[in-house]
């Protein structure tokens, strides 16, 4: 192989490591991370990834971890591999991604085979999550990506068209127009997302205020207030409760509900991480002594941007 100085542009990164034989569990951990990163093994030479900032950062952190396990690791920029042309290496990555997409397509067909009422409600979410994981390491755009995206879109469209189970007392948005909505002070991720949902889909002229449990205005509608109004129900956070009560079918909102759930409840139910970052930003604004109204205003603007960005995820495939 031809190694180049890191300051020069090179198409590949090679990760070389060795671990003591007694470090079996750490060896498995490193191997699983390499798989998750989409690295291609090159015999005894190491593992290969395209040279880009994300791959470099992943390899560098993995090298740090390997050394902490009393092992040795190096990350080397590689201009060429003697035994393989650039095109052949690309084909190795494409073949690996294609195999994953094909397995996803087989799983989608299995999930779509039962009649609609017998399908698992979590199937669509799980398939979409798997698709996004494959896309993340599909460095050279496998020809199966488009087919997988179209199959998932059709699967999700069928699921969305299925009649939803009505709540015991379904909410009717006409009853909730031009209202004053009240929530707790120092709004966090669930309350800010919920306020955005109320303003965008339920009560476009709604107003928001903040109060303690003992001082809720008489005619205000509480949300995420621990008691009364709209809040956590069963395993759902307030945002999910509102989505279900007002029968909001928007696919992007469904993805956002998963983000809010994981960030607010911390149970990793959907494996979504986006909401955690937004929650940290909200906490940071709180430490800057911003008012509740300013945090809510800025947070809702940020979430509106997130909503519009979702259609661009994974090549226009909404998660």
> Which residues, listed in sequence order, are joined to residue 50 by a DSSP beta bridge?
12
Length of the chain: 319
Kindly give, in sequence order, each residue whose CB lies less than 8 Å from that of residue 193, ignoring residues fewer than 6 positions away: 239, 256, 260, 275, 303
What is the per-residue pLDDT across 43-98, written as a single tens digit (0 to 9) for each? 887 999 999 988 999 999 999 989 999 999 999 999 998 889 999 999 999 999 99
* Domains defined for the chain, CATH in brackets: 2-84 (3.30.70.240), 91-161 (no CATH), 173-316 (no CATH)
Residue 216 sits at φ, ψ, to 5 deg, of -70, 125
pLDDT > 90 fraction of the chain, expressed in percent and rounded? 62
Kindly give, in sequence order, each residue whose CB lies less than 8 Å from that of residue 283, ignoring residues fewer than 6 positions away: 188
Alpha-carbon span 269 to 262, nearest angstrom: 6
Residue 227 pLDDT class (50, 70, 90 cuts): confident
The sign one gets for the Cα dihedral 48, 49, 51, 53 is negative
- Evaluate whether 30 touches 17 at the Cβ level (below 8 Å): yes
CA atoms within 13 A on the CB side of 196: 26
Residue 233 pLDDT class (50, 70, 90 cuts): confident
What is the per-residue pLDDT across 111-136, written as a single tens digit (0 to 9) for each? 877 665 555 556 777 888 889 889 99
pLDDT at 5: 46
pLDDT at 260: 96
Please name which of 244, 241, 247, 309 lies closest in space to residue 278, comparing C-alpha atoms: 309
Question: Angle at CA 33, nearest 5°, toward 264 and 41?
Answer: 155
């Amino acid at each position: 192989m031809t190694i180049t100085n890191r300051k020069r542009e090179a198409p590949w990164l090679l990760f070389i490591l060795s671990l003591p034989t007694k470090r079996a569990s750490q060896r498995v951990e490193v191997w699983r991370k390499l798989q998750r990163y989409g690295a291609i093994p090159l015999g005894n030479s190491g593992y290969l990834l395209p040279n880009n900032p994300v791959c470099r950062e992943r390899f560098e952190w993995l090298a740090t971890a390997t050394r902490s396990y009393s092992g040795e690791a190096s990350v080397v920029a590689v201009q060429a591999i003697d035994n393989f042309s650039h095109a052949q290496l690309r084909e190795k990555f494409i073949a690996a991604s294609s195999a994953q997409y094909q397995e996803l397509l087989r799983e989608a067909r299995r999930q779509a085979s039962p009649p609609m009422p017998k399908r698992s409600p979590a199937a669509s979410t799980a398939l979409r999550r798997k698709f996004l994981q494959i896309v993340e390491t599909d460095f050279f755009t496998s020809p199966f990506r488009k087919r997988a995206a179209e199959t998932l879109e059709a699967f999700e469209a069928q699921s969305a068209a299925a009649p939803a189970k009505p709540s015991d007392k379904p909410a009717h948005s006409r009853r909730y127009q031009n209202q004053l909505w009240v929530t707790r002070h120092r709004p966090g991720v669930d309350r800010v997302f919920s306020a955005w949902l109320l303003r965008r889909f339920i009560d476009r002229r709604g107003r928001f205020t903040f109060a303690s449990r003992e001082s809720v205005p008489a005619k205000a509608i509480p949300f995420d207030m621990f008691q009364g109004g709209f809040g956590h129900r069963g395993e759902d956070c307030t945002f999910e409760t509102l989505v279900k009560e007002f029968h909001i079918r928007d696919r992007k909102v469904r993805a956002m509900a998963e983000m809010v759930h994981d960030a607010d409840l911390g149970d990793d139910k959907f494996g979504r991480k986006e909401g955690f970052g937004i929650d940290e930003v909200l906490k940071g604004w709180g430490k800057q002594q911003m008012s509740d109204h300013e945090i809510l205003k800025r947070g809702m603007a940020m979430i509106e941007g997130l909503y519009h960005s979702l259609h661009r995820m994974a090549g226009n495939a909404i998660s």
